[in-house]
Amino acid sequence: MTPSARILRWHYLVAAALVGHCAAIATRDGHWWYGVGLFITGLLLLVAHARECAAADERRATAVRAERAARLRARQDAAALGWDELATACCLRAWETRGAAHDKPTCARKERAA
């Protein structure tokens, strides 16, 4: 979660508490209509706070899924690279020694004339 999102969430809570306090004072002084309006406003601020929390959780889950997918792709690419090297090798001995030695009777390598 970014620092600005964290600050915004705290501001939602503080604003909801302040609006709730104002709603209580308005209702106590006999202005019940203002109290109801302020109470609804406080509820909307709490809903906004909950929505920001849910969005942060979703962003975190999406980042974890993307990281896992990238790791899986990297592993699959490494495995495919090994099979590709084996398929392009002229003989098993050459693949094992990375081309340093060849199996004379079975090697399909064509010697180039210098």
CA distances for 24 relative to 37, 40, 48, 61, angstroms:
11, 12, 21, 39
- Average pLDDT, integer, range 56-67: 92
* DSSP letter, residue 30: T
Threshold 0.85, pTM exceeds = no
- Taking only the tens place, the pLDDT of each residue in 82-100 is 666 666 666 766 666 766 6
- pLDDT over 60 at 113, yes or no: no
Is 48 domain-assigned? Answer: yes
Is 46 domain-assigned? Answer: yes
* Domain limits for position 46: 3-75
Instruction: Give how many domains the chain has, as a whole number.
Output: 1
Is 94 domain-assigned? Answer: no
Enumerate residues 6+ apart whose C-beta is below 8 A from 19. 38, 39, 41, 42, 45
Residue with structure tokens 């509820």? Answer: 43
Task: Answer whether 43's CB lies under 8 Å from 79's CB.
Answer: no
- pLDDT over 90 at 22, yes or no: yes
Please tell me which residue, 80 or 60, carries the higher pLDDT value.
Answer: 60
Give the chain's mean pLDDT.
83
Is 96 domain-assigned? Answer: no
Query: What distance in Å separates the CA atoms of residue 73 and residue 56, rounded to the nearest whole number?
Result: 26
Is 89 domain-assigned? Answer: no
Task: Answer whether 9's CB lies under 8 Å from 49's CB.
Answer: yes
Task: Answer whether 2's CB lies under 8 Å from 52's CB.
Answer: no
